[in-house]
Amino acid sequence: MTTHHTSSPPATASPFRPAWWLRGAHAQTLFAALCRRHPPLAMRQERWELADGDFLDLRFAGDDQASDRPTVLLLHGLQGSHKSAYIQGMMRAIVARGWRAVLIHFRGCGGELNRLPISYHSGHTEDLAHVIAEFQERQPHAPLAAVGYSLGGNVLLKRLAESGRDVGLKAAVAVSVPYDLGCAAERIERGFSRLYQWHLLRSLRHMVREKLQVTPGALPLTEADINALRTFRLFDDQVTAPMHGFAGVEDYYTRCSSGPMLSRIQTPTLLIHARNDPFMTPAAVPDATALPDHVQLELSRDGGHVGFVAGRYPWAPTYYLERRIPDYLAAFLPEQPARASE
């Protein structure tokens, strides 16, 4: 289990400064998720069939015709998709650097339910490994990097730790990661954060109902059982763990939390986190002094969960992540002219 700290560990101070009109964890989190406007972004979809009989839906943006064009893989958060504002914003920022952006939808998140009686979870890294290997085979001269948000960041960090030098990525960035899944599940049951839990669990319960209609034997749950799943811990104990072969919720949290694995990462990696993230407590933040030299923790006082909204005026917000992340990746990926059509 992750060691809990009484105060935030030393880390690189973030240059991020929240908008004066949008201070606080919930303001940052909710504005970024609900109030953002973004113009349409041209995307192309591909469906990749998997050896186990399932499939992955990927969305491409940028010059996908150039086989050697640097490619940035994106992993969304819980119940996210290509429609998520933070994904669209980052894809646009990646394309502006002349790179290709590729969103990997977790199973069942691309708009169509996946075929098998499984879903996705915080520690399922096999699909990411498959996508990386497929890109290496199809486009061996295209440098690869990856960016993961929240649950997707946990998946990315776990994969980096598992694979060591053989991960196939030049660099990685993980944002607002629940490094200790048990700690995150406890935190989101308290105060205003219960609103996020309510919203996400409503979507997850709907997913379970759909799954049981297609694969009735996937879980021994009745409609009353599904309606009773009112906390993440209950959901993970009754759905995530049994669906994916874990002994129970504690087994799942212990085996899939990325925090204890960070010392094994051998890829240049940037961790971006806010101390006031409403999805977890500061106790879950990694100890920066225990990280490998090539893993950098950038910690800000404000920013919320995948928020980090700046800007002088409410009608002209700016999004720190969409400048900071490409700037970091530019040290490892050559910038190229962007397509005029993007």
54 is catalytic: no
State the chain's mean pLDDT as an integer.
92
Give the distance, in angstroms, between the CA of residue 290 and the centroid of all CA atoms in the same chain.
23
More confident of the two residues 242 and 340: 242
- Decide if pLDDT at 21 tops 70: yes
Q: Which of 122, 277, 300, 302 is catalytic?
A: 277
Catalytic residue among 150, 163, 258, 300: 150
* pTM of this structure: 0.93
What's residue 10's pLDDT? 57
- Dihedral of the alpha carbons of 232, 234, 236, 239, in degrees to the nearest 10: -130
Please state, in angstroms and rounded to a whole number, the distance separating the CA atoms of residues 282 and 280: 7
pLDDT tens per residue across span 281-328: 988 999 999 999 999 999 999 999 999 999 999 999 999 999 999 999
150 is catalytic: yes
What mean pLDDT comes out for the span 36-50? 91
pLDDT surpasses 60 at 3: no
Name which residue leads in pLDDT, 337 or 23: 23
Residue with tokens 């100890």: 287
E strand or H helix at 57: strand 55-61
Q: What are the structure tokens assigned to 122, written together?
A: 């915080």
**Is pLDDT at 201 greater than 90 in this prediction?**
yes
Read off the pLDDT band of 60 (50, 70, 90): very high
Say whether pLDDT at 37 is over 90. no
* Catalytic residue status for 293: no
Q: With a cut of 60, say whether residue 77 has pLDDT above it.
A: yes
CB contact at 8 A, 278 and 199: no
214-224 pLDDT, tens digit each: 888 889 999 99
- What values do phi and psi take at 147, rounded to 5? -130, 130
Query: What's residue 13's pLDDT?
Result: 85
